[in-house]
């Protein structure tokens, strides 16, 4: 009779971010003996240096416009002043509260918590603080980390991580990048009164999103005071005696700024985890390659979330955590459906999208495009020239709505509901037959009638 192999744990999770915590809790709920090792902070990127503090900062940045807009509605607003240390301190207080919640969720589920770095020794062994733990399954949920370009003076720049903890707000900043992190922070700094320049090597913002979104967002951000330099990149930084940074662009031009923030990419957090030695195959940038069931090239080692560099969104990581738990400990092999995942960009104005871009849809076949742009009712009195933009991408033959895109206040709140319709396979006729709520911006999604294929 073969000997029964005993492990210390059924699941050993490395990383207590949103995905790692959800997977560990669910697995423990299914009766598994689970351990989680976390070397930094509970809640991962989202809670500490991502979604949550970023949106709190975005709220703060919106107030400048709100104070201005109030005048058109009869409110007299006294002279306003913004205090950066107050915002940072209040943000830190909230993040500390959330850290505690995440840790308690694990503890209450009966998960063993190890507050230290873990390293994989072999397919079933993990070393933590000098002690070796064995596990039937190992889950890597270590997320990703910002990458700064290799240029002279890079040590003077910051990433989004440091932006949340600046001791003081700079008078001016250069934000480098054209993705969602770059446009969000450019909007935040601009909204807080910082002279902001957004530098991007491409010709339009938000590569990978519908082209209209990048073009129109640039127009709105420019209108709000952000200076945008397209097809431009930084070649070097130098610290001046005044504390300012001398910024040299690759075309030879120069400028000075109080700070420079790079938002030019993130790499999966897989360095020195022992993955290669354990036989785990890695892809570009160190991403862990997994199959539909989140299994790596080594059968006992799994990965989810940003460390796999597929759909890097917090709700995706948590959904993957639930799918993995069912697969491993409920005898229900579960593959996540990655189609029609909605997402929002908390720029000012907000942007949100679900489904296919026009470009992606056209590659599949004939489409009909519906667009609308308008000045929201609020701004007829506020005096703001901000425009709301909405777009539907429809399959010309089957009439199914393939994509919905929006720029404007509360875009994320609106697109979340539209995402349900797309997930259910709604047609344009079903959108058209839905009665709108008047007066709202959202009703425009069910009142667009004219095809605009240009």
The residues annotated with a catalytic role in the active site are: 438
Which of these, 242, 257, 47, lies nearest to 143 by C-alpha position?
Answer: 47
Residue 17 DSSP one-character state: B
Partners of 172 in the β-ladder: 195
Gap between the Cα atoms of 244 and 311, Å rounded: 37
Gap between the Cα atoms of 170 and 258, Å rounded: 5
Are 454 and 371 contacting, i.e. CB atoms less than 8 angstroms apart? no
Are 288 and 296 contacting, i.e. CB atoms less than 8 angstroms apart? yes
Residue 400 DSSP one-character state: B
Tokens (6 digits) for 183:
């446009």
- Angle value at C-alpha 364, between 360 and 368, nearest 5 degrees: 80
In angstroms, the Cα distances linking 103 to 100, 109, 232 are 5, 10, 44
Gap between the Cα atoms of 126 and 268, Å rounded: 19
> What is the bridge-based pairing of β-strands 254-257 and 245-249?
antiparallel
Residue 227 sits at φ, ψ, to 5 deg, of -90, 125
For residue 355, the surrounding DSSP H or E stretch is: strand 351-355
Tokens (6 digits) for 98:
């959330």
Gap between the Cα atoms of 298 and 282, Å rounded: 11
CB atoms within 10 A of CB 250: 12
Residue indicated by tokens 């597929």:
310
CB atoms within 10 A of CB 175: 31
């Amino acid at each position: 009779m073969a000997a029964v192999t005993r492990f210390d744990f059924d699941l050993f999770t490395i990383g207590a971010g949103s995905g790692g915590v959800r997977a560990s809790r669910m697995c423990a709920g299914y009766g598994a003996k689970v351990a989680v090792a976390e070397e930094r902070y509970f809640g991962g990127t989202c809670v500490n240096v991502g979604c949550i503090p970023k949106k709190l900062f975005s709220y703060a940045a919106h107030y400048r416009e709100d104070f201005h807009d109030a005048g058109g509605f009869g409110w007299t607003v006294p002279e306003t002043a913004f205090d950066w240390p107050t915002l940072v301190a209040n943000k830190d207080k909230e993040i500390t509260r959330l850290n505690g919640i995440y840790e308690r969720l694990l503890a209450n589920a009966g998960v063993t918590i190890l507050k230290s770095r873990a390293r994989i020794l072999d397919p079933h062994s993990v070393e933590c603080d000098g002690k070796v733990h064995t596990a039937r399954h190992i889950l890597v949920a270590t997320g990703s980390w910002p990458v700064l370009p290799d240029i002279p003076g890079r040590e003077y720049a910051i990433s989004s991580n440091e932006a949340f903890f600046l001791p003081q707000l700079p008078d001016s900043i250069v934000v480098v990048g054209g993705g969602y992190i770059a446009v969000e922070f450019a909007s935040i700094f601009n909204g807080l009164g910082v002279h902001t320049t957004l530098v991007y090597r491409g010709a339009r913002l938000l590569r990978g999103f519908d082209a209209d979104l990048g073009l129109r967002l640039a127009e709105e951000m420019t209108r709000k005071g952000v200076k945008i330099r397209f097809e431009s990149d930084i070649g070097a930084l130098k610290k001046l005696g005044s504390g300012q940074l001398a910024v040299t662009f690759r075309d030879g031009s120069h400028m000075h700024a109080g700070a420079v923030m790079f938002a030019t990419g993130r790499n999966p957090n897989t360095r020195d985890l022992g993955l290669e030695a354990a036989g785990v195959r890695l892809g570009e940038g160190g991403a862990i390659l997994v199959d539909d069931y989140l299994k790596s090239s080594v059968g006992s080692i799994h990965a989810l979330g940003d460390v796999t560099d597929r759909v890097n969104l917090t709700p995706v990581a948590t959904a993957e955590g639930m799918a993995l738990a069912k697969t491993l400990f409920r005898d229900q092999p579960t593959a996540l459906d990655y189609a029609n995942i909605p997402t929002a960009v908390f720029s000012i104005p907000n942007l949100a999208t679900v489904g296919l871009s026009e470009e992606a849809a056209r590659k599949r076949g004939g489409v009909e495009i519906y667009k609308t742009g308008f000045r929201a009712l609020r701004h007829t009195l506020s005096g703001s020239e901000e425009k709301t933009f909405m777009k539907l991408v429809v399959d010309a033959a089957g009439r199914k709505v393939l994509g919905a895109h929006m720029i404007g206040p509360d875009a994320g709140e609106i697109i979340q509901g539209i995402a349900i319709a797309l997930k259910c396979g709604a047609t344009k006729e079903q959108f058209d037959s839905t009665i709108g709520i008047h007066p709202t911006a959202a009703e425009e999604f069910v009142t667009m009638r004219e095809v605009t294929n240009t």
